[in-house]
Amino acid sequence: MNILNTIDAWQNWRNAISHEKSVGIVPTMGALHDGHRSLITRCRRENDICVVSIFVNPTQFNDPNDLNNYPVTFDEDRNLCAAEGVDAIFMPQYADLYPDDYRYRVMENRDSQLLCGAHRPGHFDGMLSVVMKLFNLARPQRAYFGEKDWQQLQLVKGMVEAFFMPITIVPCPTVREADQLALSSRNRRLSNDHRQKAAKFPRLLATNAPTGDIIRLLEKDGFTVDYVEDFMGRRCAAITCGGVRLIDNLPSPERQE
Ligand code: PAF
């Protein structure tokens, strides 16, 4: 498995891949878990070459504390990728990926302003900008995204269509713990108590109660609620539990019938 830390090393490696081979990418910010593993397994199965990018992208963090506390677990990430048969890990530095210091960026003016976008100003522009860069560098045929980040997934699909990028975005189902909490890199920041309490989040979201009732019940349980809203066929929600922001989504009640 190749670990490529610079754009030059990456380009040399990428340019050596024959045009006949298909390339799939799993873009990540590291702290890999079984949710990422499921994306990698599918990418590996569907492409000749499977690439994972690991880059904690500062431009998509509106809260410096969240960025500073984002878990970094490179040794474990490398082991997981090696075990899954990943061909290359691309892990650039900020200065390499943003030679313009984020002067140029991708902006979306509608759906990125809703839900998480309303609570995290600039988040989706930063996310779309880095994904565009990664796609331009990796030139993949397919890219794999988890449905847990439903709004992100819709925005990436929209960008690919808007810019005529010849890339298939492959959505992959959310992977959950036994108690239904969606896997997330941020879960490792939960204390034991908060981890137990967090299991109420997916349970309440799964009730077919009106969104206002779910918000009230979550607040009664001590969570800080950013939103619970129906969006593009899913009931999406974001809360804070013990200082850790968690998001999740399930099919909207009307889609379940
Ligand atoms: O979902 C993530 O981990 C990130 O938003 C992504 C897609 C890797 C872009 O930084």
Atom 5 of ligand 1, nearest CA residue: 127
163-195 residue pLDDT tens: 999 999 999 999 999 999 999 999 999 999 999
Q: State the distance from the centre of ligand 1 to the C-alpha of 56, rounded, in angstroms.
A: 8
Locate the ligand 1 atom nearest the alpha carbon of residue 56 and give its number. Answer: 10
Q: Which of these, 179, 184, 216, 186, lies nearest to 200 by C-alpha position? A: 179
| Residues classed as catalytic | 36
207-221 residue pLDDT tens: 989 999 999 999 999
Residue 68 has a pLDDT of: 95
For residues 150 and 132, give the distance between their C-alpha atoms in angstroms, rounded to a whole number: 18
DSSP secondary structure string for all residues of 47-59 = -SEEEEEE---GG
Which residue among 77, 112, 149 has the greatest number of ligand 1 atoms within 8 angstroms of its CB, and so is best to mutate? 149
CB 227 within 8 A of CB 205: no
What average pLDDT values come out for the chain (257 residues) when binned by 10 residues? 98 98 98 98 98 98 94 97 98 98 98 98 98 98 98 98 98 98 97 98 96 98 98 97 97 75
- In the chain, the domains with their CATH numbers are 2-172 (3.40.50.620), 185-248 (3.30.1300.10)
For residues 189 and 174, give the distance between their C-alpha atoms in angstroms, rounded to a whole number: 19
Q: Which of these, 149, 115, 138, lies nearest to 50 by C-alpha position? A: 138
Q: State the distance from the centre of ligand 1 to the C-alpha of 127, rounded, in angstroms.
A: 6
Q: Which of these, 225, 33, 242, lies nearest to 148 by C-alpha position? A: 33
CB 122 within 8 A of CB 94: no
CB 25 within 8 A of CB 143: yes
Locate the ligand 1 atom nearest the alpha carbon of residue 146 and give its number. Answer: 1
Residue 63 has a pLDDT of: 93
79-96 residue pLDDT tens: 999 999 999 999 999 999
Residues with CB under 6 A from ligand 1: 27-29, 57, 60, 127, 130-131, 149, 152
